[in-house]
């Protein structure tokens, strides 16, 4: 394992050191169990009670908490971001070697950069383009006409349907499906008829897509995921949806067709968002929110209730349904 002095660590995160800069760190660990050679951090006040008893070799924290730190302090403005930066130094990843595994099935028309790595049992279709230093783990399927940029990583059993575009540094976790047909149906005399989905999916730079998430191709226009979006596991994004840059979507969320979500939004887990809606920039939707109309003003929005006994919940629902009482001024 690599080791680093606190001086070297501080330089990487622009931290002020209170203590010995020559101390050596061998690993990172949680605040409650870090040892004398390990680095930890304090980002939330809810964990502040653990600080005074920590045995860590050093703690990354804010200036306001430094006086309570019993060990070496690395003072920064954003401890969580600083810790994320340092944790990458200790990240264990299997070595990836460029080249094509002999069991991969690759159409002769595909263009694969020599620095790319294609794992066992991958299937790559006609006219696929794969950029430099991109990694396909075992059993990835890439259909015809797909373009994958530089430094992407696609994990085992992911499926990329035809004519999808992935730009640079996109990560797709295991089992994700990108570009399947959107759920478009036309009804006639009680029978549903499939509408051909003629659009595609465009995934922009630095997007992360979690395991078993699905992003449907557009009906006529494209489904678009903008730069820096992070999508958790088990998320469904329907056809023609557009997700704005640096928005984060937590697990088990469903977004119906042709909805547009703005930039820098936070979508809590198990949120349900209806179709043909527009959500502006910088909106936070708390977990289990149900969005049935467009949101035009930035802010925090919630729906549903926290868990309570069923009889209490039924009474609360009755109160929710009561018409608003008019004030004296409104009555006049």
Q: What is the pLDDT of residues 218-246, one digit of tens each?
A: 999 999 999 999 999 999 999 999 999 99
pLDDT in tens, 183-193: 999 999 999 99
CB 296 within 8 A of CB 282: no
Strand residue runs (E) in 44-116: 58-61, 72-75, 99-100, 105-106, 111-112
* pTM score above 0.85: yes
What local confidence, expressed as pLDDT, does residue 317 receive? Answer: 84
Sorted by sequence, the CB contacts under 8 Å of residue 1 that are 6+ apart come out as 26, 27, 90
Per-residue pLDDT, 331 = 53
Catalytic residue among 155, 239, 264, 276: 239
Catalytic-residue membership of 239: yes
What residue ranges define each of the domains in the chain, with the CATH number in brackets?
Answer: 4-90 (3.40.1390.10), 158-301 (2.160.10.10)
Q: In what order do the strands lie in the sheet with 254-255?
A: 105-106, 123-124, 141-142, 159-160, 177-180, 214-216, 236-237, 254-255, 272-273, 290-291
Model confidence at 164: pLDDT above 80 = yes
Measure the CA–CA gap between 3 and 149, rounded to whole angstroms.
Answer: 33
């Amino acid at each position: 394992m690599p080791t680093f002095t606190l001086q070297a660590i501080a330089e990487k995160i622009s931290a002020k050191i209170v203590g010995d800069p020559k101390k050596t760190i061998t690993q990172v660990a949680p605040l409650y169990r870090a040892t004398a050679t390990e680095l930890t951090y304090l980002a939330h006040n809810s964990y502040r009670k653990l600080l005074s008893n920590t045995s860590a070799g050093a703690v990354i924290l804010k200036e306001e908490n430094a006086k309570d730190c019993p060990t070496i302090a690395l003072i920064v403005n954003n401890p969580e971001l600083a810790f994320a930066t340092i944790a990458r130094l200790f990240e264990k990843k299997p070595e990836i070697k460029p080249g094509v595994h002999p069991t991969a099935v690759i159409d002769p028309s595909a263009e694969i950069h020599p620095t790319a790595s294609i794992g066992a049992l991958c299937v790559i279709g006609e006219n696929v383009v794969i950029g430099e230093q991109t990694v396909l783990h075992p059993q990835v399927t890439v259909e015809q006409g797909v373009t994958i940029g530089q430094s992407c990583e696609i994990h085992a059993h992911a499926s990329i349907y035809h004519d999808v575009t992935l730009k640079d540094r996109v990560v797709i976790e295991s089992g994700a499906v990108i570009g399947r047909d959107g759920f478009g149906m036309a009804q006639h005399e009680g029978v549903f008829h499939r509408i051909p989905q003629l659009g595609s999916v465009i995934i922009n730079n630095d997007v992360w897509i979690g395991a078993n998430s699905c992003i449907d191709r557009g009906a006529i226009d494209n489904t678009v995921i903008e730069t820096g979006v992070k999508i958790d596991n088990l998320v469904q994004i329907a056809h023609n949806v557009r997700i704005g840059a640096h928005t984060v979507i937590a697990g088990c969320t469903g977004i119906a067709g042709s909805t547009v979500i703005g930039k820098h939004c936070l979508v809590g887990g198990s949120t349900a968002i209806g179709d043909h809606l527009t959500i502006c920039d910088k909106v936070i939707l708390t977990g289990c929110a149900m969005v049935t109309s467009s949101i035009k003003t930035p802010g925090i929005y919630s729906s549903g209730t926290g868990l309570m006994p069923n009889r209490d919940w039924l009474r609360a629902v009755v109160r929710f349904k009561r018409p608003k009482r008019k004030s004296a001024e409104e009555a006049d």
